[in-house]
Structure 1
Amino acid sequence: MENKSKSYVVTVTPITESSASTIQSDQTNIKKEIQTPEKPDQRLVPSKTAKISPAVLLKINTLKPFIQEQESMDKTSINNIIDILVESYVDTHLVNRHSKAYKDMYKRLYETLANK
Protein backbone atom coordinates (compact mmCIF):
# COMPACT_ATOMS: atom_id res chain seq x y z
CA MET A 1 0.00 0.00 0.00
CA GLU A 2 1.23 3.41 -0.91
CA ASN A 3 0.95 6.23 1.53
CA LYS A 4 -0.46 9.23 -0.36
CA SER A 5 -0.63 12.50 1.47
CA LYS A 6 -3.05 15.25 0.55
CA SER A 7 -2.52 18.89 1.23
CA TYR A 8 -5.24 21.43 1.89
CA VAL A 9 -5.25 25.20 1.96
CA VAL A 10 -6.97 26.66 5.00
CA THR A 11 -7.79 30.34 5.28
CA VAL A 12 -7.93 31.68 8.83
CA THR A 13 -9.71 34.94 9.57
CA PRO A 14 -8.80 36.55 12.89
CA ILE A 15 -11.66 37.34 15.24
CA THR A 16 -11.77 40.98 16.21
CA GLU A 17 -13.70 42.41 19.12
CA SER A 18 -16.50 43.70 16.91
CA SER A 19 -17.02 40.34 15.20
CA ALA A 20 -16.91 38.54 18.56
CA SER A 21 -19.64 40.81 19.95
CA THR A 22 -21.73 40.23 16.82
CA ILE A 23 -21.42 36.48 17.23
CA GLN A 24 -22.32 36.76 20.91
CA SER A 25 -25.36 38.96 20.21
CA ASP A 26 -26.51 36.53 17.50
CA GLN A 27 -26.27 33.66 19.98
CA THR A 28 -28.22 35.68 22.57
CA ASN A 29 -30.97 36.37 20.02
CA ILE A 30 -31.16 32.69 19.14
CA LYS A 31 -31.48 31.77 22.82
CA LYS A 32 -34.28 34.32 23.30
CA GLU A 33 -36.19 32.93 20.32
CA ILE A 34 -35.91 29.40 21.66
CA GLN A 35 -36.91 30.31 25.22
CA THR A 36 -40.17 32.05 24.34
CA PRO A 37 -42.50 29.46 22.82
CA GLU A 38 -46.16 30.43 23.02
CA LYS A 39 -47.99 28.35 25.58
CA PRO A 40 -51.57 27.47 24.62
CA ASP A 41 -54.43 28.24 26.97
CA GLN A 42 -54.33 25.25 29.34
CA ARG A 43 -58.09 25.40 29.83
CA LEU A 44 -58.49 24.24 26.22
CA VAL A 45 -55.86 21.48 26.25
CA PRO A 46 -57.14 17.97 27.03
CA SER A 47 -55.47 16.74 30.19
CA LYS A 48 -56.70 13.16 30.63
CA THR A 49 -57.16 10.17 28.42
CA ALA A 50 -60.74 10.10 27.18
CA LYS A 51 -62.74 7.08 28.25
CA ILE A 52 -64.98 6.63 25.24
CA SER A 53 -66.46 3.30 24.23
CA PRO A 54 -65.63 2.00 20.76
CA ALA A 55 -69.32 2.30 19.77
CA VAL A 56 -69.48 6.00 20.72
CA LEU A 57 -66.14 6.64 19.03
CA LEU A 58 -67.50 4.96 15.89
CA LYS A 59 -70.61 7.19 16.03
CA ILE A 60 -68.48 10.33 16.33
CA ASN A 61 -66.14 9.32 13.51
CA THR A 62 -69.11 8.40 11.30
CA LEU A 63 -70.67 11.80 12.02
CA LYS A 64 -67.50 13.74 11.06
CA PRO A 65 -68.24 14.06 7.31
CA PHE A 66 -71.70 15.47 8.07
CA ILE A 67 -70.50 18.28 10.35
CA GLN A 68 -70.19 21.42 8.26
CA GLU A 69 -68.12 23.33 10.83
CA GLN A 70 -65.33 20.76 10.74
CA GLU A 71 -64.67 21.47 7.04
CA SER A 72 -63.05 24.79 7.94
CA MET A 73 -60.85 23.21 10.63
CA ASP A 74 -57.35 21.96 9.87
CA LYS A 75 -57.58 18.98 12.17
CA THR A 76 -60.79 17.77 13.77
CA SER A 77 -60.37 16.24 17.21
CA ILE A 78 -62.89 14.52 19.45
CA ASN A 79 -62.71 17.62 21.64
CA ASN A 80 -63.75 19.86 18.73
CA ILE A 81 -66.59 17.57 17.67
CA ILE A 82 -68.01 17.38 21.21
CA ASP A 83 -67.77 21.17 21.47
CA ILE A 84 -69.69 21.54 18.18
CA LEU A 85 -72.33 19.03 19.34
CA VAL A 86 -72.83 20.80 22.69
CA GLU A 87 -73.19 24.20 20.99
CA SER A 88 -75.66 22.73 18.51
CA TYR A 89 -77.70 21.13 21.28
CA VAL A 90 -77.79 24.34 23.31
CA ASP A 91 -78.85 26.39 20.29
CA THR A 92 -81.52 24.01 18.96
CA HIS A 93 -82.95 22.08 21.91
CA LEU A 94 -82.95 24.55 24.79
CA VAL A 95 -85.53 27.29 25.18
CA ASN A 96 -84.07 30.79 24.67
CA ARG A 97 -84.11 31.48 28.41
CA HIS A 98 -82.30 28.21 29.23
CA SER A 99 -79.83 28.69 26.38
CA LYS A 100 -78.93 32.16 27.63
CA ALA A 101 -78.64 30.88 31.22
CA TYR A 102 -76.35 28.04 30.08
CA LYS A 103 -74.10 30.40 28.12
CA ASP A 104 -73.86 32.86 31.04
CA MET A 105 -73.08 30.07 33.52
CA TYR A 106 -70.48 28.55 31.19
CA LYS A 107 -68.82 31.94 30.64
CA ARG A 108 -68.60 32.58 34.39
CA LEU A 109 -67.30 29.08 35.16
CA TYR A 110 -64.80 29.22 32.28
CA GLU A 111 -63.35 32.48 33.61
CA THR A 112 -62.87 30.94 37.07
CA LEU A 113 -61.32 27.78 35.63
CA ALA A 114 -57.61 27.74 36.54
CA ASN A 115 -55.38 28.73 33.65
CA LYS A 116 -52.09 26.99 34.44
Structure 2
Amino acid sequence: MADSAYVIVTWAQTPARTCEWAYSCEWETQCCRKDDKPFSVYWYPGLALDGLGECGPLGREDEECFTGMSIDYCNCAEGLTCRPETPGSDVVIGFFTYVKHTCQRDRQ
Protein backbone atom coordinates (compact mmCIF):
# COMPACT_ATOMS: atom_id res chain seq x y z
CA MET A 1 0.00 0.00 0.00
CA ALA A 2 1.43 3.36 -1.04
CA ASP A 3 1.53 6.34 1.29
CA SER A 4 -0.90 9.07 0.32
CA ALA A 5 -0.76 12.74 1.14
CA TYR A 6 -3.70 15.05 0.95
CA VAL A 7 -3.56 18.79 0.72
CA ILE A 8 -6.64 20.69 1.71
CA VAL A 9 -6.91 24.16 0.31
CA THR A 10 -9.33 26.70 1.64
CA TRP A 11 -10.32 29.79 -0.25
CA ALA A 12 -11.34 32.79 1.78
CA GLN A 13 -12.34 36.11 0.40
CA THR A 14 -10.70 38.99 2.21
CA PRO A 15 -13.35 41.53 3.14
CA ALA A 16 -12.79 45.12 2.05
CA ARG A 17 -11.21 47.15 4.79
CA THR A 18 -13.03 50.26 5.99
CA CYS A 19 -11.03 53.50 5.80
CA GLU A 20 -11.31 54.49 9.43
CA TRP A 21 -8.39 56.89 9.16
CA ALA A 22 -5.83 57.93 6.57
CA TYR A 23 -3.53 54.95 7.10
CA SER A 24 -6.21 52.25 7.06
CA CYS A 25 -5.25 51.30 3.49
CA GLU A 26 -1.96 49.83 2.27
CA TRP A 27 0.48 52.69 1.72
CA GLU A 28 1.07 53.49 -1.97
CA THR A 29 -0.86 50.44 -3.19
CA GLN A 30 -4.43 51.37 -2.24
CA CYS A 31 -6.69 54.39 -1.94
CA CYS A 32 -9.65 55.01 0.27
CA ARG A 33 -12.73 54.89 -2.00
CA LYS A 34 -16.41 55.56 -1.56
CA ASP A 35 -18.90 54.73 -4.32
CA ASP A 36 -15.83 53.64 -6.38
CA LYS A 37 -14.31 57.15 -6.30
CA PRO A 38 -11.27 58.31 -4.31
CA PHE A 39 -12.40 59.55 -0.91
CA SER A 40 -10.49 61.69 1.56
CA VAL A 41 -10.95 60.67 5.19
CA TYR A 42 -9.12 63.82 6.28
CA TRP A 43 -11.72 66.23 4.92
CA TYR A 44 -14.61 64.47 6.66
CA PRO A 45 -13.55 63.96 10.27
CA GLY A 46 -15.91 62.32 12.72
CA LEU A 47 -17.99 60.32 10.24
CA ALA A 48 -19.79 57.24 11.48
CA LEU A 49 -18.34 54.00 10.11
CA ASP A 50 -21.16 53.64 7.58
CA GLY A 51 -20.18 57.04 6.16
CA LEU A 52 -16.57 56.08 5.50
CA GLY A 53 -15.09 54.42 2.43
CA GLU A 54 -13.28 51.16 1.73
CA CYS A 55 -9.72 50.48 0.64
CA GLY A 56 -9.47 49.97 -3.12
CA PRO A 57 -7.21 50.49 -6.14
CA LEU A 58 -4.98 53.50 -6.75
CA GLY A 59 -6.30 56.46 -8.73
CA ARG A 60 -7.24 55.88 -12.37
CA GLU A 61 -6.87 58.33 -15.25
CA ASP A 62 -8.93 61.53 -14.75
CA GLU A 63 -9.93 60.55 -11.20
CA GLU A 64 -9.40 62.98 -8.36
CA CYS A 65 -6.23 62.43 -6.35
CA PHE A 66 -4.89 63.64 -3.02
CA THR A 67 -1.15 63.90 -2.45
CA GLY A 68 1.33 66.02 -0.59
CA MET A 69 -0.32 65.65 2.80
CA SER A 70 1.29 63.23 5.19
CA ILE A 71 -2.06 62.47 6.81
CA ASP A 72 -4.05 61.70 3.68
CA TYR A 73 -3.26 60.51 0.21
CA CYS A 74 -4.55 58.78 -2.85
CA ASN A 75 -1.73 58.20 -5.27
CA CYS A 76 -2.25 57.49 -8.94
CA ALA A 77 -1.69 54.12 -10.59
CA GLU A 78 1.46 53.37 -12.55
CA GLY A 79 1.96 55.65 -15.57
CA LEU A 80 -0.16 58.42 -14.02
CA THR A 81 0.78 61.48 -11.98
CA CYS A 82 -1.37 63.61 -9.68
CA ARG A 83 -1.45 67.12 -11.20
CA PRO A 84 -3.55 70.26 -10.75
CA GLU A 85 -6.57 70.56 -13.02
CA THR A 86 -7.17 73.59 -15.18
CA PRO A 87 -7.49 76.99 -13.46
CA GLY A 88 -10.89 77.53 -11.90
CA SER A 89 -11.34 73.89 -10.99
CA ASP A 90 -11.43 74.55 -7.26
CA VAL A 91 -13.34 71.99 -5.25
CA VAL A 92 -15.05 72.33 -1.89
CA ILE A 93 -14.49 69.25 0.23
CA GLY A 94 -15.84 69.22 3.75
CA PHE A 95 -15.01 72.63 5.14
CA PHE A 96 -12.16 73.51 2.78
CA THR A 97 -11.64 74.69 -0.79
CA TYR A 98 -8.63 73.42 -2.69
CA VAL A 99 -7.32 73.20 -6.26
CA LYS A 100 -8.64 70.00 -7.78
CA HIS A 101 -5.96 67.48 -8.77
CA THR A 102 -6.53 64.52 -11.09
CA CYS A 103 -4.51 61.52 -12.23
CA GLN A 104 -3.02 62.42 -15.61
CA ARG A 105 -0.84 60.41 -18.00
CA ASP A 106 2.88 60.87 -17.45
CA ARG A 107 4.48 63.22 -19.92
CA GLN A 108 6.99 61.63 -22.26
Shorter-normalised TM range: under 0.3
Relative to the length of structure 2, the TM-score reads 0.27
Relative to the length of structure 1, the TM-score reads 0.26
| Greater share of strand | 2
Higher relative contact order at CA 8 Å, sep ≥6: structure 1 or structure 2? 1
| Greater share of helix | 1
